Structure formats: C-alpha cells, structure tokens
Amino acid sequence: DIVMTQSPDSLAVSLGERATITCKSSQSVLHSSSNKNYLAWYQQRPGQPPKLLIYWASTRESGVPDRFSGSGSGTDFTLTISSLQAEDVAVYYCQQYYSSPCNFGQGTKLEIK
C-alpha cells in the first residue's frame, strides 16, 4: 500500500499571506505511460464533503480560485495558497489514486493567525 504523509498537521497563517502544505508518498505515483502524477488535493470545510481542488498534482479543478496551486512529482508534492482568504479555513487532504487502496494523507488543518 502507498502511505501518504502530510505536513504540518496544522497551520496558522495570516490573511493575505501564503500557506504551504506538503505531501509525501511512500512510492512514486507518477504513471509512466500517461506522464501524469495520480495525486489529488481536497478541501473539506466543517460539515461538508471533501471538494476536489487539484488533480494530476498540478491541474486546478474547474471553478477553483487561482490562488490555489499544486506542484511536485514522483513522491513529493506541495499545495500552495498564495494569499489566504477567510473562506480557505478548512482541512486539506492529499490523496493518491495510482493504486488501490486510494489512500489519503492524515489531513492538515488550516486556520487564520
């Protein structure tokens, strides 16, 4: 099984500042044939289901603000929020869908400083 490890577990950032979350997979999730990393990022607000933000490690889902960006390849990935807004307070998860089980990271709780 591929284990996903996020850091930090929690993060407090001032409004308008940058927030960065990292995710590491225990094996590469780069699909060689498609040259795509099978890595997604989700945002989950309290009482809501998760929402897909980023897929293929760096492709923004339709409707997601461009302050959200993803980067990385192979086993190391980053989610960046360039200028934190109040509505970005949530828990963020990375997930690999390269192979079953499609494991998630433990989550990173993002708060306003």
CA 46 to CA 52: how far, in whole Å? 15
> Is residue 24 close enough to count as binding other proteins by CB under 8 A?
no
> Is residue 3 close enough to count as binding other proteins by CB under 8 A?
no
Q: Which of 43, 88, 107, 110 binds other proteins (CB under 8 A)?
A: 107
Q: Which of 24, 31, 60, 67 binds other proteins (CB under 8 A)?
A: 31
What does the DSSP assignment read for 15-57? TTS-EEEEEEESS--EETTTTEE-EEEEEE-TTS--EEEEETT
Query: Which is nearer to other proteins, 31 or 67 (by Cβ)?
Result: 31
**φ, ψ of residue 86 in degrees (nearest 5):** -60, -35
> Is residue 72 close enough to count as binding other proteins by CB under 8 A?
no
CA 85 to each of CA 14, 21, 53, 62, 112: distance values in angstroms, whole numbers, following the listed order? 9, 16, 15, 19, 9
> Is residue 102 close enough to count as binding other proteins by CB under 8 A?
yes
Contacts to other proteins by CB under 8 A: 1, 31, 33-34, 36, 38, 40, 42, 44, 49-52, 55-56, 59, 61, 93, 95, 97, 100-107
